[in-house]
Structure 1
Amino acid sequence: MAVQFESSVKQVPYSQERVYHKLSDLNNLASVRERLEQFKDKFEGKLEDMTFDQDSLTIKVQGISLTLRIIEREEPKCIKFEGDKSPVPMNLWIQILPVGEEQAKMRVTIRAEVNMFMKAMVSKPLQEGVEKLADMLAMIPY
């Protein structure tokens, strides 16, 4: 059974193109890695580590590693990821829409394949996770 979780819409004070180009090459997140300590506070100490290359991002949360790999880029509006070696099959996508010349809005969506029993266990953490990820992405200087 597929369950889907969406973040609220986040306002970003940068153009759609700038946001897309920063997020579509994950090597650009080096500045985020340097500020990981600040983000750890936002994740209430649950985020332990973050590594990445051009097409994948691995985060370690409470001892569990999750790798997301970019599977599709739809310039300049969407980046789609697929879970690689994740505990449950999942996809994540970041939608970026223009609001003005120097402003955009974004939403993060996660879709996971879980059974009925797992749905009850993962719903709250996934909804919180998608919201915190969107908050983190909205704070990045693009």
Structure 2
Amino acid sequence: MATYRSEDVTLGAPAETVFLKLDNLQGLGEMIRNAPAEQIPADKRDMLEKIEVTADTISFPAGPMGAITLRKTQSVSPSLIRLEGEGTPVPMSLSLHIVPMGDVASTAYVEIDLQIPAMLKPMVSGPLNKMTSEFANMLRAVPFN
């Protein structure tokens, strides 16, 4: 198992508010669709338009692999939202960890766990580290209040 972890990002909302907003995947889909264009890099806009969200899944394009679907499998208020891959080439999960910082702020970080053969790890480490960082940075743009 390989684990890829983003840096901590500070969010201007309490942990419970962050959790409630992100635990509803359909709400996350709405936020993605309504994200200001200037906050999304041009090379990511096309991908965002192809994201499909239901109450408990999120699917997004993954290049030659086709689409990746993640299903919510665990919610622990206000600290954890865990999604696991469905039909992915290897078992994987994405976890969002939310850490309270008082009544007005929280921090969060993203972890991706992936069961990959050791010989493939060097090829996927860079893109997966980048993906965790981009996901965590995207959280900064979410209007939690």
Common topology (TM > 0.5): yes
Partner residue in 2 for 1:28: 27
Could you say which residue in structure 2 is the equivalent of 1:95? 97
Q: State the SS of the aligned residue for 2:120.
A: helix
CA distance in 1, matches of 2:77, 2:62: 30
The 3-state SS of whatever aligns with 1:100 is: coil
Task: Tell me which residue corresponds to 2:59.
Answer: 58
* Residue type of the alignment partner of 2:106: A
User: 2 CA distance for matches of 1:32 and 1:11?
Assistant: 19
- Once residues 60 and 40 of structure 1 are traced to their aligned partners in structure 2, the CA distance between those partners, rounded to angstroms, is 16
Residue 2 (structure 2) aligns with: 3
Aligned residues: 140
**TM-score for both structures, normalised by structure 1:** 0.89
Residues 118, 96 of structure 1: CA spacing in aligned structure 2 closer, same or farther, 3 A cutoff?
Answer: same
Tell me which amino acid in the other structure corresponds to 1:58. S
- 2:131 corresponds to: 129
> Would the aligned equivalents of 2:25 and 2:55 in 1 still touch at CA under 8 Å?
yes
Cα deviations across residues 42-92 of structure 1 (Å, max 9, x unaligned)? 7x3386221111111111143531111110111111011101122321011
State the secondary structure of the residue aligned to 2:21.
Answer: helix
The structure in which a higher percent of residues are strand is 1
TM-superposition CA deviations, 1:14-58 (whole Å, max 9, x none): 11111000111101120222227556517x338622111111111
- Where 1:117 maps in the other structure, the secondary structure is coil
Q: Higher mean Cα deviation, 85-94 or 46-55?
A: 46-55
* 1:115 counterpart residue number: 117
- What TM-score, normalized to structure 2? 0.87
Give, as a single letter, the amino acid of the residue that structure 1 aligns with 2:122.
A
